[in-house]
Structure 1
Amino acid sequence: MAAEEEEDRQILTKSDSSFFVEGIVRHLRRTVRSGKTKPEAWRRLQLQGLLRLLVEREEDISRALAQDLRKSAYETYIFEISLAVEECKLALKKLRSWMAPQKVAGTVATFPSSGAIVPEPLGVALVISTWNFPFVLAVNPMIGAIAAGCAVVLKPSEIAPATSALLAKLIPLYLDTSAIQVVEGGVPEITTLLQQNWDKIFYTGNSKVGRIIMAAASKHLTPVTLELGGKCPVYIDSTANLKVALRRIAVGKWGNNNGQACIAPDYILAEDSIAPRVVDVLKETIVEFFGKDPKTSKDLSRIVNQFHFQRLMDLLNDSRTLGKIVHGGEQDAANLYIAPTVLYDVPLNVPIMTEEIFGPLLPIIKVKGAAEAIAFITERSKPLAFYVFTTDKKIAQLMVSEVSAGGIVVNDTCLQFVVPGLPFGGVGESGTGAYHGKFSFDTFSNHKAVLYRQEVGDVYARYPPHTKHKQKIIKSLLTGDFLGATLLLLGWRQ
């Protein structure tokens, strides 16, 4: 044991990144094998430590996010800190019931018996988070992993360096480093991480990297949860209250990290009879929220870096797109600023309509009605989220029934993310697997099937040599003819 402890000490002080990563995985696997992470008391202690971190370090978290994305303290608290706090509190409240075996009744074939589904930790988990919500999208999957009894390596996004550094600094102060570690870095570090043999990989990001992660995981048959993105459509019909609808769309688009969110509205499909009015009300709403000069608003985040700024400008500056701008379009490269921008009647074959926007640009497309909107959406990759604005319950139900998406919200945007009783995840190109609340616990758990059998109760017809008489007995039992089976067993029926 002393030799292993010395090896661990050396591992965690080495500067060579490859050795460091490989050593951490060995170190955490040793912790898992010791059984340290399984008891409820250990899990609860880590969750309590994480909750203290969230409460005690709120100002530090706000400063880091302001530095990385110029997020306001309000936006940081609402969309990052408070969501992690509530997730942590829920896990602490429900932990014992989540861990408890679930009873399952036996069957005639196993009588007398009882069954149970016993959740057990998958083992050592890798959580790779992303830059747009760099705190909550790192912490919330960790909550599920800890609640499930896993050891965790967290890889924060290097694109949000202040938040990454803060997580690397704070987590060792509040959590058990023998089971929970942070690995910072870029491509070399993540490449080394993906070469390791994990028991679970949880990734939040884009589909291109998602494919790389799934390919790496396949070498070890490692289960993965991929939280990806895509183009999240909005449909508005003529029955919708446009002022309410467009306030909710605007806050979901620009008040939510300035469109840099996987669940932000990507484009609007507006029923053609109301499309011009949708444009007008949306423009009024933008001015109401962010003023006539949104650049001066403290409630509008900036683009994360120069690469993404240029990517968005390329979408906007396409010659087929430029003439479709009906509001906004202003930009300031030095300050990574792009104004809330509305485009109307955009051609469908331009990049802004074929690529995920992930920024403050919002195209509006005219459709004749619900049927055309459904066809438009279903002909494309399945979205992570779909938003429907209508007061017609039949239209709402039609959309829910016919559109395949990770989640659907009727008459609002983005709020599905904050309901812990709803699974959050994608389908197809938008991801695989889900989390939040108990779904987070489940995604890091193996649900082990256990059958408890009594020594009494054997039916001799189960055992060789098999005869037609025994087959009749088994058939009677399996079809529920218990009287017939009894008579056969007693020899009263041939």
Structure 2
Amino acid sequence: MNPYQTIFEDQQKHFLKEIKNSTAKERIAKLKKLRSWIFSHRQEIRNAVYKDFKKPAVGVDLSEIKVVLNEIDVATGNLKKWMKPKKVPTPITFLGTKSWIEYEAKGVALILAPWNFPFQLTIGPLVSAIAAGNCAVVKPSEMSEHTSDLMKSMISDLFDESEVTVVLGDYKVSESLLKLPFDHIFFTGSPQVGKIVMNAAAKNLTSVTLELGGQNPVVVDETARIKDAAKRLIYGKFMNNGQSCVSVNTVYVHKSKQDELVTELKSELSKAFPGDAFKNEDYARTINEKHFQRVKNLSVDAVEKGAEIITGSTFDEEDCYIAPTILNNVPREANICNEEIFGPVMPIQSYENIEDVVSEINNKEKPLALYVFSQTKKNINYILKNTSSGTTAINETTWQFGQKHLPFGGVNSSGMGKSHGHHGFMAFTNERSMLKQKNGFTIAQLVHPPYTKSVKWIVDLIVKYL
């Protein structure tokens, strides 16, 4: 028997008996209790994330706590409107009927969360699941164990296990959970593991939201404001030690601006992390030795193939420390230009024709994020009209994720489905089509068999004119 079968079945029963028809008021009360817990345990959350990979307190406040609080506030402020049935128009051939859409919870959801934003990317989807009226089994990452332990304690304080529960463990736990016929699976992680999740979901025909990643390209054209671009690129690359699904990957800069950009990047990096970054409390660490070695190998490979070290490329394995690294003129065959980096290394390549950059972007999988630095609508529009990405930011990096009114998600290999706000609510919601017919004679009866001459004439009329 599956070790999580009992938990799953208890949640199924509880959903049908208590949760399925919960009101907006009841759901809002749960979310407000969650908000209160988070706010009153703010320092504990900071401490847990710091223990996992030395993430600074300001980083935890902005990218872990505040993002979740935003999710709660948007949901509690709009839930009544989101839950309200929506009337739809009645075509002439449906006269006598009434049609509308009911928004009902899917049921029991599975949330599989990553380690890079361990609190936000676990609790954010849970907020949407609760707002939509679901029960949930939550599996946080074993790599961020301190944050996972704290979240388990939090959920135990706030919910009965039959409504929401946190399950701890490694990939084997996830494998067992994925064998169960959940009503929805929300997974955040790599495209490689996303394929495993989708394959497992297919066996039960379970719907999925896949928040994945990809090689997020940056285009800095000849009209870009280089000082602004450099400042925002440093933030977008080195925040969270580069361990973000919307982090900057390869920077494509116009040849005429390359030297200026490199100079400004060095300057901005020294301002962001003055002195020795190893001793800087604002600079996080790689999550573990495995990921440390992977990112180190990408950096070393690029240098061996001809990349120029502008800054960084120093390592401390014991502390999982990789210095903030900028590499210039990185050859296209370097591994770092052909996979998601997920670490504090920024590769730079130059270009002369915008068409060549767009062609290179399109030769890779569709990214989760695309960044364009330009002051000309012509170049901006050309890039946008000839590429596809889950999200895009113009003259900025990463902040599109935090805009609480925008949907967040990828396309194809970078993700499936959307999250945040109303879009997150809809991910855990079934849009139930409703039609009510009047009593007695109906227009529909005019086309019931037998198919006499008059019926055929009516059908012909409908096809031609209605």
Q: Normalization by structure 2: what TM-score?
A: 0.96
Contact 2:307-2:328 within 8 A present in 1 as well: no
Alpha carbons of structure 1 residues 106 and 456: separation in structure 2 relative to 1, 3 Å? farther
C-alpha distance in 1 between matches for 2:173 and 2:449: 58
2:298 is equivalent to residue 315 of structure 1: yes
Q: Which runs of 5+ in 2 are unaligned?
A: none
CA deviation vs aligned residue, 1:141-179 (integer Å, no higher than 9, x gap): 001111111100000100000000001111111234321
Residue aligning to 2:9: 26
Equivalents in 2 of 1:165, 1:19: separation in Å?
Answer: 23
Contact 2:111–2:125 (8 Å) recurs in 1: yes
| SS at structure 1 position matched to 2:99 | strand
Query: 1-side partners of 2:299 and 2:344: how far apart?
Result: 10
- How many pairs align? 463
Q: Distance in 1 between matches of 2:446 and 2:123?
A: 55
Output the CA distance in 2 between the equivalents of 1:442 and 1:382: 24
State the partner residue of 2:97.
113
Match of 1:464 among 430, 449, 459: 449
Alignment pair present for 1:304 and 2:287: yes
2:376 matches 1:419: no
SS of the equivalent of 2:162 reads coil
Distance in 2 separating the partners of 1:384 and 1:467: 57
Paired residues for 1:127-206 under 5 Å: 127-206=111-190
1:287 aligns with 2:260: no
* Cross-structure match for 2:459: 474
Asked whether the 8 Å contact 1:461–1:471 carries over to 2, the reply is no
Task: For 1:235 and 1:218, locate their aligned partners in 2 and report how far apart those are by CA, in whole Å.
Answer: 37
Task: Measure, in 2, the Cα distance between the counterparts of 1:111 and 1:372.
Answer: 56
Corresponding residue number in structure 1 for 2:194 = 210
CA drift at 1:214: 1.0
SS at match of 1:466: coil
1:268 alignment partner, one of 251, 266, 287: 251
1:22 partner amino acid: Q
Quote the Cα distance in structure 1 between the aligned partners of 2:168 and 2:378: 50
* Distance in 1 (alpha carbons) for counterparts of 2:193 and 2:161: 28
How many Å separate the matches in 2 of 1:57 and 1:37?
A: 30
Find the aligned partners of 2:455 and 2:6 in 1 and give their Cα distance: 58
Between 102-111 and 39-48, the greater mean CA deviation after superposition? 39-48
Alignment partner, residue 87 of structure 1: 71
Matched to 2:453, the amino acid is K
Give deviations 1:127-147, integer Å, cap 9, x for gaps.
Answer: 000000000000110011111
Is contact 1:36-1:42 (8 Å) kept? no
Letter in structure 2 aligned against 1:82 = K
Match of 2:376 in 1: 392
Q: Which residue of the partner structure matches residue 485 of structure 1? A: none
Tell me the SS of whatever aligns to 1:291.
coil
CA distance in 1 between partners of 2:132 and 2:175 (Å) = 26
Residue 421 of structure 1, CA deviation: 2.0
Query: What CA deviation, in whole Å up to 9, does each residue of 1:422-445 have, x standing for no partner?
Result: 111111111111110000010001
Task: Provide the residue aligned with 1:237 in structure 2.
Answer: 221
**Could you state the TM-score of these two structures normalised by the residue count of structure 1?**
0.91
Q: Distance in 1 between matches of 2:61 and 2:21?
A: 32
CA change 1:37–1:49 in 2 (3 A) is farther
Aligned twin of 1:325: 309
> Which segment is superposed worse, 465-474 or 310-319?
465-474
CA drift at 1:400: 1.7
Rg (Cα) greater in structure? 1
Deviation of 1:321 after TM superposition, in Å, equals: 4.1
CA contact (8 A) 1:237 1:369 kept: no
User: 1:281, CA displacement in angstroms?
Assistant: 0.9
Question: SS at the partner of 1:316?
Answer: helix
The aligned counterpart of 2:34 is 50
CA shift for structure 1 position 369:
3.0
Shift of 1:370: 2.0
1:463 offset after TM fit, Å? 2.1
Name the residue aligned to 2:53: 69
Question: Residue in 1 aligned with 2:364?
Answer: 380
Q: Secondary structure at the match of 2:206?
A: coil
Question: Which amino acid in structure 2 is aligned with residue 463 of structure 1?
Answer: H
Q: Deviations over 1:302-336 (max 9, x none)?
A: 11111111111111122634642221112211221
Query: In the alignment, is residue 410 of structure 1 matched against residue 416 of structure 2?
Result: no
* Partners of 2:306 and 2:331 within 8 A in 1: no
The answer to whether the aligner puts 1:259 opposite 2:247 as a matched pair is no
1:457 Cα offset (Å): 5.5
The aligned counterpart of 1:9 is: none
1:68-116 deviation line (CA, Å, top 9, x unaligned): 0101110100011001001101101111111111110111121122211
Task: Work out the CA distance in 1 between the residues paired with 2:144 and 2:212.
Answer: 18
Aligned-residue RMSD, C-alpha: 1.5
User: 2:233 & 2:21 partners in 1: Cα distance?
Assistant: 44
CA distance in 2, matches of 1:301, 1:147: 33
Instruction: Report Cα offsets for 1:440-492 as digits up to 9, x if no partner.
Output: 010001101011222256245312222333222333345447xxxxxxxxxxx
SS of corresponding position for 2:267? helix
C-alpha distance in structure 1 between counterparts of 2:418 and 2:130, whole Å: 16
Name the % identity.
35
